[in-house]
């Protein structure tokens, strides 16, 4: 493990200008495990509520610090033009994993939300590593912790998520999700790397995190 613990209480922002979520978790246990019911709400409620939650795959992972919301009414969503072999799981019930191939070489993981047929999902874009950092470094061939999970393709490589994980349920092994111990400071902004519906502010992040795929403006 390579968690840096704070020298001072994290509720003194003038001493720690940029507290990371791992610092907060060191002072509180993980929250309750998230069940399928957590995802059976609007994707626009679930997405910000996932910031600060802990995601583990086979015990490796960390704190979700960046996500994006997609919905079938959204031209940027894979589900916008209806079901295909790739996006089929998005049209199923909430609480399952949707994994797709990105640009032919990377995998990206999503949590299906809302209800059967609504075809909405949250893309996991960045994680603050806390569990199994040695395994992540090996898989990513990268030492710098900030480079392990700072992007959707990096997250899947570090957590060894691939198409084999597509359609897995989110509340049973090998996947584990835990609610955040308290509500963190969340920022929203426009999504990354898309060319349709670019203006929609459906990217959410932990304010001030060093582990984002890209800073939020302001």
Q: Binding residue for DNA (CB under 7 A) from 32, 101, 164, 183? A: 101
Residue 130 near DNA by CB under 7 A: no
Nearer to DNA by C-beta: 4 or 84?
84
Stretches 12-20, 82-90, 130-138, 166-174: which one binds DNA (CB under 7 A)?
82-90
Q: Are 19 and 13 in contact (CB under 8 A)?
A: yes
Q: Which is nearer to DNA, 8 or 210 (CB)?
A: 210
Binding region for DNA (CB under 7 A) out of 53-61, 75-83, 180-188, 199-207: 75-83
Task: Tell me the window of 48-56, 103-111, 130-138, 176-184 that interacts with DNA (CB under 7 A).
Answer: 103-111
CB of 182 to DNA, least distance (A): 27
Can you tell me which of 31, 33, 93, 193 binds DNA, judged by CB under 7 A? 193
Question: Which one of the spans 8-16, 35-43, 169-177, 187-195 is the region binding DNA (CB under 7 A)?
Answer: 187-195
Q: Whose Cβ is closer to DNA: residue 24's or residue 109's?
A: 109
Task: Please name which of 206, 203, 182 lies closest in space to residue 194, comparing C-alpha atoms.
Answer: 203
Q: Does 68 bind DNA (CB under 7 A)?
A: yes
106 binds DNA (CB under 7 A): yes
How many angstroms separate the CA atoms of 207 and 188, rounded?
A: 9
Find the binder of DNA among 84, 116, 138, 173 (CB under 7 A): 84
Q: Is residue 86 close enough to count as binding DNA by CB under 7 A?
A: yes
Q: For the residues of the chain, what is the DSSP string, one character each?
A: --PPPPSS-TT-TTTSSS--HHHHHTTS---PBP-HHHHSS-HHHHHHHTTT-EEEETTEEEEEEEEEEE-TTSTTSTTTT---TTTGGGGS-SSBEEEEEETTTEEEEEEEESSTTT-EEEEEEEEEEEE-HHHHHHHHT---GGGTSSSHHHHHHHTT--GGGTT-BTTSTTEEEE--SS---EEEE--SS-SSSTT---EEEETT-S--SSPPP-
Instruction: Give the pair of three-digit tokens for residue 193.
Output: 């790397």
**Contact status: 103 vs DNA (CB under 7 A):** yes
Distance CA 150, CA 211 (A): 6
- Contacts with DNA by CB under 7 A lie at 68, 70, 76-79, 81-82, 84-87, 90, 98, 100-106, 108, 110, 121, 123, 140, 142, 147, 151-155, 191-196, 213
């Amino acid at each position: 493990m390579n968690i840096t613990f704070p020298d001072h209480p994290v509720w003194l922002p003038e001493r720690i200008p940029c507290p990371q979520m791992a610092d907060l978790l060191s002072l509180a246990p993980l929250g309750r495990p998230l069940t399928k019911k957590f995802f059976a709400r609007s994707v626009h409620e679930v997405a910000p509520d996932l910031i600060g939650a802990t995601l583990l795959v086979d015990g490796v992972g960390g704190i979700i610090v960046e996500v994006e919301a997609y919905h079938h009414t959204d031209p940027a969503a894979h589900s916008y033009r209806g079901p295909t072999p790739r996006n089929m799981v998005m049209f199923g019930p909430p609480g399952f994993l949707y994994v797709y191939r990105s640009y032919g070489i990377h995998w990206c993981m999503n949590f299906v939300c809302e209800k059967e047929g609504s075809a909405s999902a949250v893309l996991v874009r960045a994680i603050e590593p806390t569990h199994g950092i040695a395994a992540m470094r090996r898989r990513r061939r990268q030492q710098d912790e900030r480079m392990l999970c700072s992007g959707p393709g990096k997250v899947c490589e570090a957590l060894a998520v691939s198409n084999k994980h597509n359609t897995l349920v989110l509340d049973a092994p090998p996947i584990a999700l835990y609610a955040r111990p308290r509500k963190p400071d969340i920022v929203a902004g426009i999504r990354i790397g898309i060319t349709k519906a670019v203006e929609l502010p459906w990217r959410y992040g932990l304010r001030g995190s060093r582990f984002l795929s890209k800073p939020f403006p302001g």
